Amino acid sequence: MTRAVLTLNAGSSSLKVALFPIAGDQPLATGLADRIGPEGVLKLKDATGAAIDSAGDLASHAGAMAAVIAAFRARWPDLDLAAIGHRVVHGGADRAAPVPVTEALLVELEGLSPFAPLHQPHNLAGIRAAMQAFPGVPQVACFDTAFHRSHPFVNDTFALPRVLYAEGVRRYGFHGLSYDYIAGELAQTAPHLAQGRVVVAHLGNGASMCAITNGRSVSSTMGFSALDGLPMGTRCGQLDPGVLLYLMDQKGMSAAAISDLLYKQSGLLGLSGLSNDMRTLEAAGTPEAAEAIDYFVFRCQREVGAMAAALGGIDALVFCGGIGENSRLIRARICERLGWMGIEIDHSRNAANDTVISSDLARTTVMVVPTNEELVIARAARAAIGCAERDAA
């Protein structure tokens, strides 16, 4: 029998999946159902990278999930799902760890949808589809905000009337599953750094940074929403709230139009007028693309300094995410003005994508550590099964 746990990350038009054995960190299969709808595409591959045959109706998330499971069961006829783990962007102010899914929990999480309107409803739709498809299989919710619940008050609040803080208007931080994984990897591979002051830069289409010490989040560049902090593929990053007042009062823009502007038309795409993909911008050679890259690099340099200030210093800078793990140019450019922090990269190591890319004489270690949010979710699902089985024993 192939006993396994399934991880799901449901987006507005996508479903990212991974199938893990009941023990071990190497997935049996990974895949993505993209552009869910009339033009949906499903691509699955096994641990060797070989494609897994798949077909089905991808008109909805439920249809995509059925197609994924049909493909997996065709490959592993004795497949037995022990649990399903889900990425949920928002867990609120009190959820600091993964929890089993119940109907009461779903109602609670649906109440947080106004805080993450472009993510939360789709995450919850993925959970409900999985519950319908596998009514007897334990479901576990893993929250992107949970890792940041250790923030001190000054990094958790805005200078607004306290009644708003009590109502949930606060700095939540996101990308927590990624930071959780990096913190765990450092504890295993570089414990002397894990105990120190670490700034992790999760740079991709979504981008943020986190200040971590002893495996705990101290501060994050993202705040109330996933719009804050660094510029991203299509999101603006930090923005003077006066701009929003101007857009409403002087341009007559509605909340929906402003939301579309900030989430989908801004960031690298808006600045370059070309693309939200850093690879495309690096190759473009246009002045606008160069300026978009310059702005992204500058804001990253600025936020490294801010995170180091929150920690009272810095011992390591860790890059992860699609850009952080793959763009040698962006890593080099971010580091080139941070020598005052003891950051100095070895360009040959950086070019080779080594794990440690700082020079031997640098005071601050610079690393590239591929993140693995799916493994964090799978481990949480396994832990939930273990707890349930121990309670039943």
As annotated, the active-site residues are 144
Q: Which residues pair with 79 in a beta bridge?
A: 2
- Contact call for residues 264 and 256 (beta carbons, < 8 A): no
Alpha carbons 61 and 16: distance in angstroms, whole number: 11
Amino acid at position 144, single letter: D
**Neighbour tally for 64: CB within 10 Å:** 30
Please state, in angstroms and rounded to a whole number, the distance separating the CA atoms of residues 289 and 312: 35
Rounded Cα distance, 80 and 196, in Å: 42
What is the spatial distance between Cα 34 and Cα 26, in angstroms, rounded to a whole number? 23
**Under 8 Å between Cβ of 329 and 300:** no
State the sign of the Cα–Cα–Cα–Cα dihedral 295, 300, 301, 302: positive
The DSSP call for residue 171 is -
Provide the angle, in degrees to the nearest 10, between the axes of the packed helices 103-110 and 120-133.
160
Cα-Cα-Cα-Cα torsion 204, 227, 119, 203, nearest 10 degrees, comes to: 10
37: nearest Cα among 10, 55, 14, 70 = 14
The residue with tokens 């803080």 is 165
Tell me which DSSP letter residue 113 carries. G
| DSSP state, residue 49 | S
Contact 37, 27 (CB under 8 A): no
SS3 of residue 357 by DSSP: coil
- Tally the C-alpha atoms within 13 A of residue 103's C-alpha that lie toward its C-beta: 2
Q: Which candidate, 193, 119, 247, 208, places its Cα nearest to that of 366?
A: 193
